[in-house]
A = this chain, B = another copy of it.
Amino acid sequence: MVRKQTAADQALRLDNQICFAVYSTAHAFNRVYKPLLDRLGLTYPQYLVMLALWERDGVPVKDIGERLFLDSGTLTPLLKRLEAAELIKRSRSTEDERQVLIALTPHGHALREKAKAVPQSILAASACSVGELLAMKDEIVALRDRLNAVLGE
């Protein structure tokens, strides 16, 4: 006897999972970034931290965590590696000694120039127009923000 597949059965199919689409695309991006970032001596999460700092540095760890949705368990060791690479400096805030302020070193600032070539390469690899990518990005960010809103409840 042949039994019709229920909606619940369909929903469990790997191909139907937007979540797997996002997960596997994140890994694909990571692999495309790897050779580009190797030249900068950065991993992808380290690159994200540098992007955040190039926009605004001299900020506490918490600030970076909020911008990247990462916590201290991830950031503390990562930042220590960036410090060991002499791209950033970590120092206790004198105003609030709980805070560790993260500032770019001259070397960290300088790396920004080398990093300018990266987005162009990624754009080429995605084989997509800037407009399409921006539209897709906005949709994905909207989805992410709804998910995070649920988590915050």
Contacts and interface: CB of A to CB of B under 8 A. Distances in A.
Copies in the complex: 2
A22 B19 contact: no
A144 B141 CA distance: 17
Interface stretch (A10-18, A75-83, A86-94, A98-106): A10-18
Interface in A1-51: 8-9, 11-14, 16-29, 31-33, 44, 48, 51
Interface residues of A, number: 59
Contact of A33 (B19, B68, B136, B144): B19
Interface in A102-153: 112, 115-116, 118-120, 122-123, 125-128, 133-134, 136-137, 139-141, 143-144, 146-151
Given A16-B134, A136-B139, 17 more contacts: A8-B120, A12-B51, A13-B51, A14-B51, A17-B137, A18-B134, A20-B51, A21-B144, A22-B26, A22-B140, A23-B44, A23-B48, A28-B147, A29-B147, A125-B147, A136-B136, A136-B140
